[in-house]
């Protein structure tokens, strides 16, 4: 049996000419020196999983609409949910998901299909596939950005275990200690101190807890910047500190402590994963 091609582009919204054209542009732009196969596959295809398994090589490109919204008389199914139903091929080392945000005006950017797709894919982090998908998707009617897959990494495994505690404070206490130990060289705290020293607004705040909260607000917009390179050690440091503050807050009930930790996790995990992917050179491909 022959080996699958090292690259495959799977057009999941094959009925939309704009998507097909986008896939063709990707092939022309990126794969001049690589073997590549372009396959139009409707997302509704009952054999999607088998097709993905057959096509998937080192890098799999999925091109399609990222959410449920009307395209003419068609309403595409949700890409992330369909992938979760079908399962992701174990042979894939990297996954790039290209989607568009056509029809989305700037005031609604936070609710754009591309961003919702990213949030939906967080569910796939929990799956036992060894594949972690992070990054950003397209802007306007063009395809841009990328999702980068992260192989198993101690920080990613730790993030999954934090979620798996489901609010067990004893387990969370143990993981809090482990989170500190992950950064043996204190790279995160050192990076945070450099950030504070170089930012006048942060210097004016007396409490580190408030400094961390303000710093997080500075970095959240990086979720919408495909070229941003967050320092994942610093993001991990801020997450651990916020977890510790919630655990020690005597005014919070146990359930409220878990809600606070989950809120911090939902905010910082994508930044940690994005920084980790870029720092590990998971992919050097950029779309525009």
- Give the pLDDT confidence of 100-148 residue by residue, as tens digits: 544 343 434 444 444 455 445 544 444 454 445 544 443 333 344 444 5
For residue 175, what are the contacts with CB-CB under 8 A and spacing of at least 6? 158, 161, 162, 165
Q: Cα–Cα distance between 245 and 188 in angstroms, integer? A: 17
Classify 145 in phi/psi space as left (phi over 0), alpha (psi -120 to 50) or beta: left
Q: Cα–Cα distance between 238 and 29 in angstroms, integer? A: 39
pLDDT in tens, the chain (288 residues): 445 455 556 666 556 666 666 666 666 665 555 555 666 666 667 777 776 666 555 566 666 655 444 545 555 555 656 666 666 665 555 555 555 544 343 434 444 444 455 445 544 444 454 445 544 443 333 344 444 555 567 887 898 889 889 889 999 999 999 999 999 899 999 999 999 999 999 999 989 999 999 998 888 776 656 567 788 899 999 999 999 999 999 898 999 999 999 888 878 887 787 677 666 443 333 322
**Which of 52, 58, 25 shows the shortest CA–CA distance to 39?**
52
Q: Mind listing the pLDDT tens digit for each residue in 156-167?
A: 789 888 988 988
CA 115 and chain centroid, separation:
10
pLDDT at residue 247, rounded to an integer: 93
**Which of 135, 157, 163, 159 shows the shortest CA–CA distance to 148?**
135
* Sign of the C-alpha dihedral computed for residues 222, 99, 24 and 6 taken in this order: positive
Q: Provide the 3-class DSSP secondary structure of residue 65.
A: coil
Q: Is the Cβ–Cβ distance between 39 and 8 less than 8 Å?
A: yes
Its pTM stands at 0.60
């Amino acid at each position: 049996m022959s080996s699958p091609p090292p690259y495959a582009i799977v057009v999941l919204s094959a009925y939309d000419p704009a998507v097909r054209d986008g896939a063709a542009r990707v092939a022309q732009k990126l794969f001049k020196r690589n073997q590549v196969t372009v396959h139009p596959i409707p997302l509704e295809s009952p054999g999607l999983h088998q097709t993905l398994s057959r096509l998937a090589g080192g890098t799999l490109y999925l091109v399609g609409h990222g959410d449920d919204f009307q395209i003419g008389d068609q309403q595409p199914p949700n890409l992330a949910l369909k992938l979760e139903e079908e399962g992701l091929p174990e042979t894939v080392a990297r996954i790039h998901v290209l989607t568009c945000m056509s029809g989305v005006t700037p005031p609604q950017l936070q609710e754009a299909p591309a961003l919702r797709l990213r949030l939906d894919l967080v569910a796939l982090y929990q799956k036992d596939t060894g594949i972690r998908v992070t990054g950003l998707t397209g802007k306007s009617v063009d395809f841009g950005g990328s999702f980068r897959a992260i192989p198993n990494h101690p920080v990613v495994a730790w993030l999954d275990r934090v979620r798996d505690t489901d609010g067990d404070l004893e387990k969370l206490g143990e993981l809090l200690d482990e989170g500190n130990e992950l950064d043996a060289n204190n790279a995160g705290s050192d990076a945070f101190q450099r950030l504070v020293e170089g930012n006048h607004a942060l210097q004016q705040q007396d409490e580190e807890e408030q400094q961390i909260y303000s710093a997080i607000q500075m970095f959240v917009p990086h979720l919408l910047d495909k070229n941003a390179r967050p320092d994942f050690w610093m993001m991990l440091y801020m997450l651990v500190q916020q977890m510790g503050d919630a655990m020690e807050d005597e005014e919070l009930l146990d359930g409220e402590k878990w809600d606070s930790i989950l809120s911090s996790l939902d905010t910082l995990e994508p930044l940690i994963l994005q920084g980790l992917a870029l720092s590990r050179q998971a992919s050097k491909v950029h779309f525009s």
